[in-house]
């Protein structure tokens, strides 16, 4: 793939609408991305479907599909017979056609993931820590990528197309909330993590805000069908979010659109506080420490929280009240069809948060507002690392009609 276009398309076919191709040879790379995007969205398509959706001539379409097949990016399925004329041969994405690595840098843990062309994890590594520093993250990535590449068959290693990074912006500004020493977190000032990792990686490196990357993962790899406009909320160490409009992630002027953590909400004494103080796992950590309980399972076992159910239920109520206020404020500005709530937490905890938030939203005076559907996310604690891995996928192979999520 020769150009730098990028996509924010989704698996459900309603997200990628028919896009028009060009029969001019100079736009061949664009047409290749167009075909890949359509096949990626629909799962598989016959040549006749591709011609109908793109408007490409039969000759141009055949040439492009032969090129993509020669590059091992698409594969032919079994012919479908029983109709008039030649049997239809479905084309689908080759899972081993390309691979992508994603890095999530969190305030309590880092995660490295290797995915195939369909977004299926091939390897994951996780490291917990009291707080992150640049040397710690660089060493984790260097050793982790070397191990992941060693596990790939030799013939596939040159198909790893890039490393995406999902990280909170301005990590040094959250020293007090993270309980980290100021001098440790100040190492992030002036640290260009993308440049540092590019020096040790023989591949393009991309960077995006962690919550926006998680939003992209839900859009691309999530299983809610046909969602094209939604507000996304991710509950991690702190809460963050993202915005999807017209089937693409809207990252905003600085890449921080939907970063709802600083949004003012009502605190315990009726005073305004930031949402991140009311709807973050950090709050539950503090509650556990105050009760003399070990908070490490929150970070070491994001799929299994056991032994502190009563405190977790109390925390869920606090989270729901904060999220409800944020949602009502957000839909007063943009009439989102849906709100998706996800996070680095167990499935049953997420379900309780969704139900409690729905109930809290119902307590507001909603005259003049269309209440959005509130849904659980479908990607879970891997959302940020998967979103990071999707950055090179978008940039190298697919088409986004709206905006880039990150750049090499």
Predicted confidence (pLDDT) at residue 375 exceeds the cutoff of 90:
yes
With pLDDT > 70 as the criterion, what percentage of the chain qualifies? Answer: 88
Length of the chain as a residue count: 408
CB 388 within 8 A of CB 164: yes
**What does the pLDDT read at residue 84?**
60
Structural domain boundaries in the chain: 25-93, 99-214+384-397, 225-378
In the CATH scheme, what is the code of domain 99-214+384-397? 3.30.420.40
In the CATH scheme, what is the code of domain 25-93? 1.10.10.10
Beginning with the edge strand found earlier in the chain, give each strand of the sheet holding 109-116 in spatial order.
121-128, 109-116, 99-105, 160-167, 205-209
Quick one: 309 exposed, middle or buried, by C-beta within 10 A (0-12, 13-18, 19+)? exposed
Please give the Cα distance from 36 to 65 (Å, whole number): 9
pLDDT (tens digit, 9 = 90+) per residue, 256-287? Answer: 788 899 999 999 889 999 999 999 999 999 99
The pLDDT of 101-127, averaged and rounded, is: 95
- Please, what is the average pLDDT of the chain? 87
CB 175 within 8 A of CB 112: no
- What does 303-362 look like in DSSP terms, one character per residue? T---S-HHHHHHHHHHHHHHHHHHHHHHHTTS--SEEEEEESS-HHHHHHHHHHHHHHHT
CA–CA distances in Å: residue 311 to residues 261, 291, 349:
22, 9, 12
**What does the pLDDT read at residue 400?**
58
**What does the pLDDT read at residue 11?**
30
Please give the Cα distance from 317 to 349 (Å, whole number): 11
Which 3 state secondary structure label does DSSP give 91? strand
List the one residue out of 138, 199, 202 whose CA is nearest residue 167.
138
Lowest mean pLDDT among 84-98, 228-242, 263-277, 348-362: 84-98
Those residues whose C-beta lies under 8 Å from the C-beta of residue 226, and which sit 6 or more positions away, are 12, 14, 15
User: Which stretches of 80-159 are assigned E, i.e. beta strand?
Assistant: 90-93, 99-105, 109-116, 121-128
Task: Report the CATH superfamily, name and number, of domain 225-378.
Answer: ATPase, nucleotide binding domain (3.30.420.40)
Q: Token pair of 154, please?
A: 């030799």
Q: What is the model's pTM?
A: 0.82
Whether the domain at 25-93 and the domain at 225-378 fall into the same CATH topology: no
Which 3 state secondary structure label does DSSP give 375? strand
List the one residue out of 363, 323, 359, 373 whose CA is nearest residue 343.
323
């Amino acid at each position: 793939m020769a150009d730098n276009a990028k996509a924010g398309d989704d698996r459900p076919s309603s997200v990628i609408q028919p896009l028009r191709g060009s029969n001019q040879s100079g736009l061949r790379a664009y047409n290749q991305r167009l075909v890949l995007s359509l096949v990626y969205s629909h799962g598989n398509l016959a040549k006749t479907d591709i011609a109908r959706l793109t408007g490409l001539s039969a000759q141009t379409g055949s040439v492009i599909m032969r090129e993509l097949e020669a590059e091992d990016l698409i594969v032919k399925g079994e012919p479908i017979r029983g109709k008039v004329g030649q049997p239809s041969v479905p084309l689908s994405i080759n899972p081993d056609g390309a691979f992508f690595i994603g890095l999530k840098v969190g305030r309590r843990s880092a995660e490295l993931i290797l995915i195939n062309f369909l977004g299926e994890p091939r390897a994951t590594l996780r490291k917990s820590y009291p707080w992150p520093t640049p040397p710690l993250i660089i060493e984790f990535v260097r050793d982790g990528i070397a191990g992941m590449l060693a596990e790939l068959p030799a013939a596939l290693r040159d198909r790893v197309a890039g490393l995406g990074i999902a990280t909170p912006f301005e990590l040094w500004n959250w020293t007090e909330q993270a309980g980290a020493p100021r001098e440790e977190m100040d190492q992030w000032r002036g640290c260009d993590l993308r440049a540092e990792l590019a020096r040790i990686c023989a591949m393009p490196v991309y960077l995006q805000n962690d919550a926006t990357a998680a939003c992209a993962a839900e859009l691309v790899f999530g299983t809610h069908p046909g969602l094209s406009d939604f507000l996304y909320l991710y509950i991690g160490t702190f809460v963050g979010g993202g915005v999807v409009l017209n089937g693409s992630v809207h990252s905003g002027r600085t890449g921080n659109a939907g970063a709802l953590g600083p949004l003012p909400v009502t605190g315990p004494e009726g005073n305004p506080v930031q949402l991140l103080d009311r709807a973050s796992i950090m709050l539950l950590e503090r509650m556990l420490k105050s009760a003399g309980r070990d908070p490490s399972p929150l970070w070491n076992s994001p799929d299994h929280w056991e032994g502190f159910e009563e405190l977790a239920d109390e925390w869920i109520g606090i989270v729901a009240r904060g999220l409800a206020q944020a949602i009502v404020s957000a839909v007063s500005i943009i009439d989102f069809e849906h709100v998706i709530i996800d996070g680095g937490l167990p499935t049953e905890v997420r379900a309780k948060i969704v139900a409690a938030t729905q109930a809290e939203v119902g307590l507001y005076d909603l005259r003049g507002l269309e209440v959005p559907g509130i849904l659980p996310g479908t990607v879970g604690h891997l959302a940020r690392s998967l979103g990071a891995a999707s950055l090179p996928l978008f940039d190298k192979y697919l088409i986004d009609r709206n905006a880039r999520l990150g750049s090499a």
